[in-house]
Amino acid sequence: MVEVRLDAVSKVFARSGDPAVDKVDLTIRDGEFFTLLGPSGCGKTTTLRMVAGFYFPSSGRIFFGSDDVTRQAPNKRDTGMVFQNYALFPHLSVAQNVGYGLRTRKVRGTEAKRRIDEALEQVHLAGYGSRRIDQLSGGQQQRVALARALVIRPRTLLLDEPLSNLDAKLREETRLEIRRIQREASTTSIYVTHDQAEAMAMSDRIAVMSGGTVQQVGAPEEIYRRPANRFVATFIGRSNVLSLPVVGAGPEHVDVAGPDGVTLRAAAPEGHGLGETATALVSVRPEHVRLTGPDAAGALRATVVETEFTGMSTHVSVDLAGTPLHVAAVQLPAGLSSGDTVGVVLPPEHLWVVRP
């Protein structure tokens, strides 16, 4: 258990290329479950590998508590790692796999056996010690990998897309399981995923990354409700972002001319700096846009482009005066189809100004 701090950490692989990780500042609190979330190639794995010690930063510093570990070898850092492909030894038993890190730390005999049993119990695999790895399901194999990481009682637990090889249902079960185990062990954990639903469900806090940089850090709800910029708004939950002319502004709101010219008020972060003549980026989530009849009071007229039934809701793409808008509707007007004219309502309480 320890606080992990990254101070302006960068990694440049090729002398001429862009940094894979660019001046990242992060503080992961003691005992926290912290997620690096972003699209493929945004620098998540590289960041995690620098925390583990598999890469050294090109610049910047990494601290575990007050220890500067920036250039410390991986085996000196007391980190437990869990990977997407489990990286288990197929020819060893479950117990031998879990005990691997103990052998290299010279923990042997009854003490080793006790620690292995305890770790297997932690991941709900008590009694599986003598099984062969290929006798286990994917989810069980990933729990063995977790036990192997935890058995050394690491100061930090680092997990790189550990659920990616599991099918959807098992992924949801296993993420709950990982979170339970992490809570019980209260090990400071850094979790890497490109899956925003997974990040939302599991994390105490999330850092959203893009192009090697951190775009926003916050609790899931904060990032969802108050995305800092266009990237975060559209990456998390597919927000609509409308460019609208500012007609007035206050410290925590702006008034914008809506697509039909009617003024809309949107909440805005303090210090937004937007005034008349500026253009504001106003985000609104698909599930917050309301569909009505075309002639309903206060509704904007739009044309249905396509509808997609997803089970829980129907995803409706509409054209709003030339601007595409995504709507997630739990209940649809009966018989709605492409080309129909509908009304859309953008509820002011759900309008939020984001930075470019």
3-state secondary structure (DSSP) of residue 243: strand
In the complex, least distance from residue 45 CB atom to ligand ADP, rounded to whole angstroms: 3
Q: Structure tokens of 305?
A: 């482009």
If binding is defined by CB under 6 A, does position 206 make contact with ligand ADP?
no
Angle at 174 between CA 200 and CA 95, to 5 degrees: 140
Distance separating alpha carbons of residues 172 and 313, to the nearest angstrom: 20
Q: Which of 319, 320, 176 is nearest to 261 (CA)?
A: 320
If binding is defined by CB under 6 A, does position 13 make contact with ligand ADP?
yes
Q: Structure tokens of 30?
A: 């003691």
If binding is defined by CB under 6 A, does position 40 make contact with ligand ADP?
yes
If binding is defined by CB under 6 A, does position 43 make contact with ligand ADP?
yes
If binding is defined by CB under 6 A, does position 42 make contact with ligand ADP?
yes
One of 10, 35, 45, 97 touching Mg ion (CB under 5 A): 45
Select the span of 40-48, 230-238, 265-273, 278-286 touching ligand ADP (CB under 6 A). Answer: 40-48
For residues 157 and 189, is the Cβ–Cβ distance under 8 A?
Answer: yes
Distance of CA 29 to the CA centre of its chain: 17
If binding is defined by CB under 5 A, does position 210 make contact with Mg ion?
no
CB closer to ligand ADP, 46 vs 187: 46
Q: Structure tokens of 64?
A: 């575990």
Distance separating alpha carbons of residues 169 and 183, to the nearest angstrom: 22
If binding is defined by CB under 6 A, does position 41 make contact with ligand ADP?
yes
At residue 291, what is the residue type? L
Q: DSSP states of 278-304 as a string?
A: -EEEEEE-GGGPEEE-TTSTTPEEEEE
For residues 168 and 113, is the Cβ–Cβ distance under 8 A?
Answer: no
CB closer to Mg ion, 40 vs 331: 40
One of 10, 24, 28, 45 touching ligand ADP (CB under 6 A): 45
CB closer to ligand ADP, 38 vs 99: 38
Select the span of 44-52, 110-118, 119-127, 145-153 touching ligand ADP (CB under 6 A). Answer: 44-52
Looking at residues 280 to 339 of the shown chain, list those that interact with ligand ADP (rule: CB under 6 A).
none
Which one of ligand ADP, Mg ion, none interacts with residue 175, CB within 5 to 8 A by kind?
none
Select the span of 25-33, 37-45, 176-184, 227-235 touching Mg ion (CB under 5 A). Answer: 37-45
Number of residues that bind ligand ADP (CB under 6 A): 10
One of 4, 6, 20, 274 touching ligand ADP (CB under 6 A): 20
Select the span of 37-45, 112-120, 217-225, 301-309 touching ligand ADP (CB under 6 A). Answer: 37-45
Question: How would you label 179-218 residue by residue, b for 16+ Cβ within 10 Å and e otherwise?
Answer: bebbeebebbbbbbbbbbebbbebbbbbbbbbbbbbbbbb
In the complex, least distance from residue 211 CB atom to ligand ADP, rounded to whole angstroms: 9
3-state secondary structure (DSSP) of residue 126: coil
Number of residues that bind Mg ion (CB under 5 A): 1
For residues 143 and 121, is the Cβ–Cβ distance under 8 A?
Answer: no
In the complex, least distance from residue 160 CB atom to ligand ADP, rounded to whole angstroms: 7
Distance from the first to the final alpha carbon of the chain: 38
The residues facing 210 across adjacent strands are: 213
- Sites of contact with ligand ADP (CB under 6 A): 13, 20, 38, 40-46
- Sites of contact with Mg ion (CB under 5 A): 45
